[in-house]
Structure 1
């Protein structure tokens, strides 16, 4: 019997990654056989030789995936900014533990509306800072 060759051809966004996967009957998992970025013009072609690990009663189970690998293209930000996710969660819990009792007490005072507007402004400002700090924006970049 000749060695089977899998071939796929199709159109995929040049910013995306096409992956040719086959079901490994021994490990019972999808194995990535080959991948390529989408072609700017024309079609993208993928091909791979498969061995007996992928043959299931004279059939090969195949899956083609399209993935957006944008996270791999982003340059890392500040290496020490929230490097430990647990530290970020702990900071959030401390904020809640401190602010919740204060908000509860503030509701009982005549200044409740003023306190709510002030705290809302602070929360929105901090949220915007965290958002802008984590989202790469193409500001000031020339192509």
Structure 2
């Protein structure tokens, strides 16, 4: 099974996942900010020979300028909680900026990175975060 962050190339494992996240942490989006939305998940061969997403996908929206991220487990829509609520939303995105509500941006970027590594290692919902239903 290959792992893929968003529309990037497949990953060999947890170390590659960490490197992909780190790479995006220092890149600037076209709107002039260091922010990104990434989807991590296993790719499975599709019927037409193209890879498709498996059902277990982890979404990470990170705003590196404010040090916050929203981590969402897409199978059930729950979001990770590490920190208390922030005063306002964060901005993330891939290609276009997207405002992420403050109540979902409850994870430090460091803990988001840890959750990505854990997820790619185990293939399961990361236990390094507390999860709340959306």
Higher strand share: 2
Q: TM-score, normalised by structure 1?
A: 0.22
Q: TM-score, normalised by structure 2?
A: 0.23
Question: Larger C-alpha radius of gyration, 1 or 2?
Answer: 1
Q: Which has the higher contact order (CA 8 A, sep 6+)?
A: 2
Higher helix share: 1
